[in-house]
Amino acid sequence: MAISPTTVTGAYGAASRLNIREATGSQGAGQAGGAFGAMVQDAAQSTISQLRGAEQQSVRAIAGRGDLNQVVMAVANAEVTLQTAVAVRDRVIQAYMDIVRMPI
Protein backbone atom coordinates (compact mmCIF):
# COMPACT_ATOMS: atom_id res chain seq x y z
CA MET A 1 0.00 0.00 0.00
CA ALA A 2 1.56 3.26 -1.13
CA ILE A 3 1.10 6.29 1.08
CA SER A 4 1.04 9.67 -0.59
CA PRO A 5 2.51 12.70 1.18
CA THR A 6 -0.94 14.14 1.78
CA THR A 7 -2.03 11.17 3.86
CA VAL A 8 0.60 11.74 6.50
CA THR A 9 -0.51 15.23 7.43
CA GLY A 10 -2.86 14.43 10.28
CA ALA A 11 -0.32 12.22 12.08
CA TYR A 12 0.81 15.09 14.28
CA GLY A 13 -2.72 15.85 15.41
CA ALA A 14 -3.58 12.19 15.80
CA ALA A 15 -0.52 11.64 17.99
CA SER A 16 -2.06 13.87 20.62
CA ARG A 17 -5.20 11.70 20.57
CA LEU A 18 -3.25 8.46 20.96
CA ASN A 19 -3.26 7.01 24.47
CA ILE A 20 0.46 6.34 25.01
CA ARG A 21 -0.19 4.13 28.06
CA GLU A 22 -2.21 1.83 25.84
CA ALA A 23 0.75 1.33 23.49
CA THR A 24 3.42 1.00 26.19
CA GLY A 25 1.52 -0.80 28.94
CA SER A 26 1.52 -4.54 29.53
CA GLN A 27 0.71 -5.27 25.89
CA GLY A 28 3.16 -6.93 23.54
CA ALA A 29 5.18 -5.14 20.91
CA GLY A 30 2.88 -6.34 18.13
CA GLN A 31 -0.12 -4.71 19.75
CA ALA A 32 1.79 -1.48 20.31
CA GLY A 33 2.66 -1.49 16.62
CA GLY A 34 -1.03 -1.94 15.89
CA ALA A 35 -1.86 1.14 17.95
CA PHE A 36 0.70 3.15 15.98
CA GLY A 37 -0.66 1.78 12.71
CA ALA A 38 -4.19 2.72 13.73
CA MET A 39 -3.00 6.21 14.64
CA VAL A 40 -1.34 6.66 11.24
CA GLN A 41 -4.41 5.32 9.45
CA ASP A 42 -6.67 7.68 11.40
CA ALA A 43 -4.40 10.60 10.58
CA ALA A 44 -4.37 9.67 6.90
CA GLN A 45 -8.16 9.44 6.75
CA SER A 46 -8.52 12.78 8.52
CA THR A 47 -6.15 14.42 6.06
CA ILE A 48 -7.87 12.94 3.04
CA SER A 49 -11.28 14.10 4.26
CA GLN A 50 -9.97 17.62 4.87
CA LEU A 51 -8.47 17.83 1.38
CA ARG A 52 -11.66 16.47 -0.19
CA GLY A 53 -13.68 19.04 1.74
CA ALA A 54 -11.56 21.83 0.30
CA GLU A 55 -12.02 20.38 -3.16
CA GLN A 56 -15.80 20.23 -2.70
CA GLN A 57 -15.87 23.86 -1.52
CA SER A 58 -13.94 24.87 -4.63
CA VAL A 59 -16.33 22.97 -6.90
CA ARG A 60 -19.32 24.65 -5.22
CA ALA A 61 -17.74 28.06 -5.77
CA ILE A 62 -17.08 27.31 -9.42
CA ALA A 63 -20.72 26.28 -9.81
CA GLY A 64 -21.78 29.55 -8.18
CA ARG A 65 -23.23 27.89 -5.06
CA GLY A 66 -20.40 28.48 -2.60
CA ASP A 67 -19.38 31.29 -0.32
CA LEU A 68 -16.03 32.83 -1.24
CA ASN A 69 -14.94 33.09 2.41
CA GLN A 70 -15.56 29.38 2.98
CA VAL A 71 -13.61 28.53 -0.17
CA VAL A 72 -10.64 30.64 0.88
CA MET A 73 -10.62 29.10 4.36
CA ALA A 74 -10.92 25.55 3.01
CA VAL A 75 -8.13 26.05 0.49
CA ALA A 76 -5.88 27.69 3.10
CA ASN A 77 -6.46 24.77 5.49
CA ALA A 78 -5.74 22.30 2.70
CA GLU A 79 -2.50 24.14 1.89
CA VAL A 80 -1.37 23.99 5.53
CA THR A 81 -2.30 20.31 5.62
CA LEU A 82 -0.26 19.59 2.51
CA GLN A 83 2.74 21.53 3.81
CA THR A 84 2.57 19.61 7.09
CA ALA A 85 2.40 16.29 5.25
CA VAL A 86 5.46 17.16 3.19
CA ALA A 87 7.36 18.26 6.32
CA VAL A 88 6.46 15.05 8.16
CA ARG A 89 7.42 12.97 5.13
CA ASP A 90 10.77 14.73 4.90
CA ARG A 91 11.47 14.13 8.60
CA VAL A 92 10.53 10.45 8.33
CA ILE A 93 12.84 10.02 5.35
CA GLN A 94 15.64 11.85 7.18
CA ALA A 95 15.17 9.65 10.26
CA TYR A 96 15.25 6.54 8.08
CA MET A 97 18.44 7.72 6.37
CA ASP A 98 20.04 8.39 9.78
CA ILE A 99 19.16 4.86 10.89
CA VAL A 100 20.55 3.38 7.68
CA ARG A 101 23.83 5.26 8.15
CA MET A 102 24.32 4.03 11.73
CA PRO A 103 27.31 1.76 12.19
CA ILE A 104 26.48 -1.74 13.30
Regarding predicted confidence, which is higher, 32 or 93?
A: 93
- Alpha helices, H only, 1-104: 11-17, 20-24, 29-62, 68-101
DSSP-derived 3-state class of residue 64: coil
pLDDT at residue number 44: 82
> pLDDT (tens digit, 9 = 90+) per residue, 22-49?
444 445 455 666 787 888 788 888 888 8
Full-model pTM: 0.56
pLDDT above 60: residue 66: yes
